[in-house]
Structure 1
Amino acid sequence: MISNEQVTGKIIKGIGGFYYVKTNHGHEVLECKARGVLRHQKIIPTVGDEVMIQSDNPGEWMIESILPRKNIFIRPPVANVDIGLIVFSMTHPKPNLLLLDMLLISSEIQNVTPVVCFTKRDLTSSVDETAIKEIYEKTPYKLFFFSHNDTGTMDEIIGEIGGKTAFMAGPSGVGKSTMANYLCADQTMETGTLSQKLKRGKHTTRHVELLETKNGGFLLDTPGFSSYQISEMIKPEELREYFPEFSRGECRFKSCLHKEEPGCDVKEAVAAGKISAVRYEHYLSLLDEIKKDQY
């Protein structure tokens, strides 16, 4: 590439002030540093950023600017995430569906499309799988159930994230690293050892990196996302918008929080079995939590 040429690309890794940008044309990975003007403006390049880079001298590339971000996360630092792979196991540990719903809400608040994955299908019964499906059948969320050797279903998941950037979220011990190793093309995510003291998985990566999936997407190498404190992100009256199966504008009162108000269409739908009672209970629990934290 010639000197002074400007190129666009995505930051896939950052270590010690150096950023590695995969170019949109040619698909080279170029080592870059950030222009001083970005530091003066307190703009920190982040893995996932779409950037404009330029070479002033042969072999030396600088990040000139960062294109507008779709979203940005702080822990771990990553930008422009499209898909959230929310991973739970059917057993060992059993799925915590309240935590699942919190992760669904956290994803949507950040403009991330959640895809729900249940591992260890072979270790439980079809009755348990059916029960979960019935809870979420009125929602638009895609659910996948599979075992560690079910490559067909994991290939479907690869199709969901093709050409997009995804992260993983969920509790330890559900098989996120094993799943990631299949999804990624030629790179592998280290499987962490179990901390006997903490009884939870330890992260083995020391930097944030995007691994390329088998069909041109990217997967964040840190399987450590957790739900954000929802009460810090939304108001009580906004929570209902993140339960897509709830009716809109059908209640007697426009400001209905679907709790104690008369003429509530959502409560009637729950009583009639049109909305999962489990999801509604989670809504009430989260509503009380937000109110408690904010008032």
Structure 2
Amino acid sequence: MKKISGRIIKGIGGFYYVRPTGSLALLETKARGKFRHQKITPMVGDYVDVAVDGKETAIDTIKTRKNAFVRPPVANVDVAIIVFAAANPDPNLFLLNKLLITAEYREVEPIICITKTDLVPAEAVAEIAAVFKDTPYAIVPVSNVETGSLRALTDLLTDKTAFLAGPSGVGKSTLANRLCAASEMETGGLSEKLGRGKHTTRHVELLNMDCGGYLLDTPGFSSLDIDEEMTAEDLKFYFPEFAQGACKFMNCTHRSEPKCAVKAQVEEGTINPLRYEHYLELYDFLGKKESWR
């Protein structure tokens, strides 16, 4: 018996399709029964070992996951491409901040992608970007008419596993087609994968990006919300521009406490006032969620 290492690219009806390391082919297999007894379900994105015994194959080992999502069920995601349009629809920065926090909470690197930049003056795009100037987040404007504008994004995605998140109408499907078109057309037709009707059976799948990484073909991240396990007290750790440990009180919530370093940052202009305002709104939101539990 030998073992083949690889990654689960998709799963359909109890079958898993594993891409062996260094190969473009897919190996159809099932999971060993031991995983069912251990209450472990293989996920798209898992790195696995497949045991091969003659013509029989089975997933034998699931390697330690970097992260995992329940809805949709995927593992080992590197990057969240948070997509918002510069116009049509107008950007909802409160939702954007919620998505950024959720990505960081799940140990996924967020990238802010501003689409449809050809619809507005450059100053309008700069105004959106300025809200996040004191954060470490990459901000990538993408135009529908300038093909070269995509290069800055693909440079950040090379050899990464990414998903798209954001509200409806911001151009996620268009962006996915631009990221994956050439490589996916070679292996089965991207338009068919991304254009399924809403009554068509869906499955999670990793699509090949032209830059060498994978893009998750799933709509589930569009409504990605703040994790149910997050508390109001956790929130301050997911605003990376907030000073840590510099307030008078160790348990400072950065709301009404005296000698708060974060409020001083807001006054000094090193934290954008809108980011701080959204922090306060989200703190109240999470506090109410905790009282309902």
Which of 266, 279, 285 aligns to 2:281? It is 285
Distance 2:245 2:130 in 1: 25
1:150 paired to 2:146: yes
Which of 149, 155, 159 aligns to 1:159? It is 155
Distance 2:89 2:194 in 1: 18
Contact 1:231 1:294 in 2 (8 A): no
More helix by share: 2
CA positional deviation for 1:46? 0.7
How many residues are treated as equivalent by the alignment?
A: 284
1:53 paired to 2:60: no
Q: Which residue of the partner structure matches residue 19 of structure 1?
A: 16
Cα distance change, pair 47–215 in 1 and its aligned pair in 2 (3 A): same
1:273 paired to 2:269: yes
Cα distance change, pair 203–247 in 1 and its aligned pair in 2 (3 A): farther
1:246 paired to 2:242: yes
Deviations, residues 257-282 of structure 1 (Å, cap 9, x unaligned): 11000111111211222210000000
Cα distance change, pair 85–62 in 1 and its aligned pair in 2 (3 A): same
Q: Which residue of the partner structure matches residue 38 of structure 2?
A: 41
Q: Which residue of the partner structure matches residue 77 of structure 2?
A: 81
Q: Which residue of the partner structure matches residue 4 of structure 2?
A: 7
Which of 25, 29, 47 aligns to 2:26? It is 29
User: Could you tell me which amino acid in structure 2 is paired with residue 103 of structure 1?
Assistant: L
Distance 1:193 1:57 in 2: 37
Cα distance change, pair 76–245 in 1 and its aligned pair in 2 (3 A): same
Distance 2:30 2:233 in 1: 44
Cα distance change, pair 204–280 in 1 and its aligned pair in 2 (3 A): farther
CA RMSD of aligned residues (A): 1.8
Contact 2:99 2:226 in 1 (8 A): no
Which of 246, 263, 266 aligns to 2:259? It is 263
TM-score (structure 2 length as normaliser): 0.91
Distance 2:174 2:220 in 1: 14
Distance 1:45 1:128 in 2: 44
User: Could you tell me which amino acid in structure 2 is paired with residue 122 of structure 1?
Assistant: D
TM-score (structure 1 length as normaliser): 0.91
CA positional deviation for 1:203? 8.4
Question: For structure 1, which runs of at least 5 residues remain unmatched after alignment?
Answer: 195-201
Which of 210, 224, 239 aligns to 1:214? It is 210
SS at match of 1:251: coil
Identity fraction in percent: 50
SS at match of 1:6: strand
Superposition map of 1:103-252 within 5 A:
103-184=99-180, 185-187=182-184, 188-189=190-191, 190-192=193-195, 202=198, 206-226=202-222, 228-230=224-226, 232-252=228-248
Superposition map of 1:63-102 within 5 A:
63-102=59-98
Contact 1:11 1:19 in 2 (8 A): yes
Contact 2:102 2:227 in 1 (8 A): no
